[in-house]
Amino acid sequence: MTKKLWFLPFVCTLLIFGGFAPSASASVQADNSLNSRLVSASAGFKNIFLSAAPAPAAPSADTDTYYETAEGKSGEVLKSALHRIISGHTMLSYSEVWTALKETDEDPANPNNVILLYTNESRAKSLNGGSVGDWNREHVWAKSHGGFGTSKGPGTDIHHLRPADVQVNSARGNMDFDNGGSEHPKAPGNYYDGDSWEPRDEVKGDVARMLFYMAVRYEGDDGYPDLELNDKTGNGSSPYHGKQSVLLEWNKQDPVDDSERRRNDIIYDQFQHNRNPFIDHPEWADEIWP
Ligand SMILES: [Ca+2]
Ligand SMILES: [Ca+2]
Ligand SMILES: [Ca+2]
């Protein structure tokens, strides 16, 4: 009796490891081949489609879905719909911001460098830091306007954080944005006076759309200050940023381009999983702040 059953443990082992494993891998193979058939079928379809007509410029179907609950709305109702859509994003730590900016602001012509916001310089990613010659993390919505600092939240929201030259960042300080002043010697094309900073023409719209995002994302309902635009300069430490009328002009003067769209996509796909609505729909700024 005992002699006849000596092989039972081996049979069980075979059933568990030998028996199940091949059938599992067979089904994986079946799935893979199904997937590859689907991929090649869709690639074929895409080729037919692309050869028949040029790809639509924007916005993508995915973006339409993202903004579904905001469609057809205006004013405060649009602002609250967008606030709900873009809230609850993944927040980065302040040190994770370094890594993120090296992706979002990479020089398309040199993967070792980032492009600096105010000077358009291409500088080595490795020169991130606080010394002269380094680049650092510019808060386009000055962090003293609302006093939110650099802990997780508005202070680490990369929708408004950009690489900037250390000295230029400190020259801009916490100024509001407005036209006028004298050209900054370290940042050609940028102007400043006692209470305001005018960025170079190529990023005027970028700056405006970053501030629009901040005013809509932060409404005071999640422990962070309610950030708002106003039509002033010299806002100091109050949670306001100006100058609204000038920002609305800049939004039209410097329309959204591919590098801004690419940046928005990277933030959405890889980091925060929320979008800047004013890059996807710049016309919504006038709907909210007429
Ligand atoms: Ca001024
Ligand atoms: Ca621009
Ligand atoms: Ca707000």
The predicted-structure confidence for 1-12, as pLDDT tens digits, reads as follows 333 444 444 433
In 72-211, where do the E strands start and end? 106-107, 110-115, 122-124, 135-139, 161-165, 176-177, 182-184, 187-192, 196-198
Mean pLDDT confidence for 31-50 = 38
pTM: 0.80
Q: Which two tokens stand for residue 234?
A: 């010299």
pLDDT of residue 36: 39
User: Does residue 252 or residue 30 have the better pLDDT?
Assistant: 252
How far is the C-alpha of 256 from the C-alpha of 209, rounded, in Å? 9
Q: Which helix (H) or strand (E) holds 9?
A: helix 8-13
Which ligand lies nearest the alpha carbon of 177?
1
Note the ligand closest to the C-alpha atom of 193: 1
Q: Minimum mean pLDDT among 39-43, 73-77, 217-221: which range?
A: 39-43
Q: Which of 46-55, 59-68, 190-199, 244-253 has the lowest mean pLDDT?
A: 46-55
Cα dihedral value 214, 274, 136, 141, nearest 10: 0
Cα 106 to ligand 3 centroid, rounded to whole Å: 30
How far is ligand 3, taken at its centre, from the CA of residue 225, in Å?
8
- Ligand closest to CA 263: 2
Helix, coil or strand: residue 34: helix
| Residue 96: other Cβ atoms inside 10 A | 15
pLDDT of residue 62: 82
The closest ligand to the CA of 196 turns out to be 1
| Residue 128 bridge partners (DSSP) | 135
pLDDT for res 158: 99
CA of 101 to the centre of ligand 1 (A): 29
pLDDT in tens, 250-263: 999 999 999 999 99
Q: What is the pLDDT of residues 106-153, one digit of tens each?
A: 999 999 999 999 999 999 999 999 999 999 999 999 999 999 999 999
> What torsion, rounded to 10 degrees, do the Cα atoms 181, 120, 118, 157 define?
160
Is residue 112 within 8 Å of residue 102, measured between CB atoms? no
Residue 198 Cα to ligand 2 middle (Å): 14
Domain boundaries, the chain: 1-55, 61-288
